[in-house]
C-alpha cells in the first residue's frame, strides 16, 4: 500500500470515528473543555488529551467519541491497560469497525491474540475492515505470520470489499482491458479503455473515436439480481440498460420511444475464443419479435 493510500486511510478513520462522538447537551461540559480536548488530540498532545477527555467522560459517561479519543491517547503514551479499558467502553456504547480496530490494537499490545481475533471478527456484520489497514498496522506486526491472523484479515477484507468475492460481480470481467474496437469490415474505429473501479464493484468504460466519445458505468445490483449500465456521451445521450448473463453472454436492454413507437435497444457482449470481445448492437420495434443490427464491433486487445 502506498504512503498516499495509507495516509488517506488514517485520515478517513479519524473523520469516521469523530462521527460517533455523542456529546450530551446540558451535561455541564464547557465548550472550552471540548475545544481544548479536540485541539490536544489533533496536535498529538496526548497527556492533555487524556486529561480533557477524562473531564468530559465524567460528565458524559455515554459519550463514545470521548472514550475513543481518550483511549487512543492512552495508546499513544503506551498505557495499554487503560487504553483497553476505555476503548472497550467506547465500543460497547457505539459498536463500529473503527472502535473495534482500536480495541484490537490494545489487545495485541497486551499479547492477547485470541481477543484480537474475536474483536476483529465482530466487525464482519458491520462491514469489516480493509485488509490493507490491518496488514499495515504496526501493533499487528507479530501476528502477520499467524495463519489465524491471515484468515481473519481475509474475512475482514471480504466484508469490507464484498464485490471482490461475490461471483456475480465478476461475470463481466471479460470486458476489462485496453481495446482497439473494429467494425464489421475490420476497420479500427477508435479506442476503448475498460477498467474495474470502486472496490471491484464497477466496470468503467472510456470510449473514444474521431467523431464521438462516451463513458459508461456497469455494475451488478444485489437487490434485483440484474446488471445495470448507464451510458453518457458528448452528444448529450443518456441511456440506461438492464440485463444479465444469458448463455454465457452479457445481454443488456434499454427501452425508449422513437417517433411514438417503443424501441428496444439491445447490446450483447460475447467473449470470443481468442480473448477478443464482440459487442453486437440491435434494435427492435415489435417487442423483440425481429431485430435489426445497429452496430457490430470486435474489441481487439492492444498489443
Region 100-106 average pLDDT: 98
Residues 152 and 178 in one domain: no
Instruction: Give the end of a domain, one of 161, 181, 204.
Output: 161
Sign of the dihedral through C-alpha 203, 152, 142, 109: positive
Residues 181 and 268 in one domain: yes
Query: CA-CA distance, 118 to 131, in Å (whole number)?
Result: 16
68/217 same-domain check:
no
14: confidence class by pLDDT, cuts 50, 70, 90: very low
263: CATH? 2.40.128.20
First CA to last CA across the chain, in angstroms? 29
7 lies in the same domain as 156: yes
Final residue before a domain boundary, out of 107, 135, 161: 161
The whole-number pLDDT of residue 9 equals 44
Please write the tens of the pLDDT for every residue from 19-58: 445 666 778 999 999 999 999 999 999 999 999 999 999 9
Average pLDDT of every residue of the chain: 92
Model confidence pLDDT, tens digit, residues 198-232: 989 999 999 999 999 999 999 999 999 999 999 99
Q: What is the DSSP letter of 25?
A: T
- Burial classification of residue 159, based on how many CB atoms lie within 10 Å of its CB (0-12 exposed, 13-18 middle, 19 or more buried): buried
pLDDT digits (tens, 9 = 90+) for 243-259: 999 999 999 999 998 88
C-alpha 280/C-alpha 296 separation (Å) is 5
Contact of 278 with 272, CB cutoff 8 Å: yes
Write down which residue in 138, 161, 184 finishes a domain: 161
In this model, does residue 2 exceed pLDDT 80? no
* Residue 175 and residue 135 in one domain: no
User: What is the pLDDT, as a whole number, of residue 119?
Assistant: 98
Q: Are residues 102 and 210 in the same domain?
A: no
Q: Residue 193 sits in which domain range?
A: 167-301
Q: How much is the pTM?
A: 0.68
CATH assignment of the domain containing 137 = 1.25.40.10
The Cα 128–Cα 153 span in angstroms is 9
Contacts of 246 (CB under 8 A, 6+ apart): none
Q: Does 181 lie in the same domain as 214? A: yes
Q: Does residue 179 sit in the same domain as residue 32?
A: no
Amino acid at each position: 500500500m502506498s504512503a498516499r493510500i495509507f495516509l488517506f486511510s488514517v485520515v478517513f478513520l479519524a473523520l469516521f470515528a469523530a462521527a460517533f462522538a455523542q456529546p450530551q447537551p446540558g451535561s455541564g461540559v464547557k465548550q472550552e473543555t471540548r475545544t481544548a480536548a479536540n485541539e490536544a488530540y489533533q496536535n498529538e498532545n496526548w497527556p492533555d488529551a487524556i486529561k480533557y477527555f477524562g473531564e468530559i467522560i465524567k460528565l458524559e459517561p455515554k459519550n463514545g467519541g470521548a472514550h475513543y479519543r481518550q483511549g487512543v491517547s492512552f495508546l499513544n503514551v503506551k498505557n495499554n491497560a487503560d487504553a483497553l479499558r476505555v476503548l472497550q467502553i467506547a465500543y460497547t456504547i457505539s459498536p463500529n469497525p473503527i472502535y473495534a480496530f482500536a480495541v484490537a490494537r490494545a489487545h495485541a499490545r497486551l499479547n492477547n491474540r485470541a481477543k484480537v481475533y474475536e474483536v476483529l471478527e465482530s466487525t464482519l456484520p458491520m462491514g469489516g475492515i480493509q485488509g490493507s489497514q490491518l496488514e499495515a498496522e504496526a501493533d499487528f506486526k507479530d501476528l502477520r505470520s499467524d495463519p489465524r491472523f491471515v484468515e481473519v484479515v481475509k474475512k475482514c477484507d471480504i466484508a469490507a470489499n464484498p464485490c471482490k468475492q461475490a461471483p456475480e460481480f465478476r461475470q463481466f470481467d471479460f470486458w476489462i482491458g485496453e481495446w482497439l474496437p473494429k467494425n464489421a469490415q475490420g476497420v479500427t474505429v477508435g479506442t476503448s479503455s475498460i477498467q474495474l473501479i470502486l472496490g471491484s464493484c464497477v466496470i468503467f468504460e472510456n470510449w473514444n473515436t474521431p467523431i464521438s466519445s462516451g463513458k459508461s458505468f456497469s455494475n451488478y445490483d444485489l437487490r434485483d439480481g440484474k446488471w445495470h449500465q448507464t451510458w453518457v456521451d458528448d452528444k448529450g445521450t443518456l441511456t440506461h440498460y438492464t440485463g444479465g448473463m444469458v448463455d454465457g453472454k452479457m445481454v443488456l436492454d434499454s427501452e425508449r420511444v422513437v417517433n411514438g413507437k417503443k424501441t428496444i435497444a439491445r447490446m450483447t457482449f460475447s467473449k470470443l475464443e481468442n480473448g477478443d470481445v464482440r459487442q453486437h448492437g440491435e434494435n427492435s420495434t415489435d417487442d423483440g419479435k425481429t431485430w435489426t443490427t445497429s452496430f457490430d464491433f470486435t474489441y481487439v486487445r492492444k498489443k
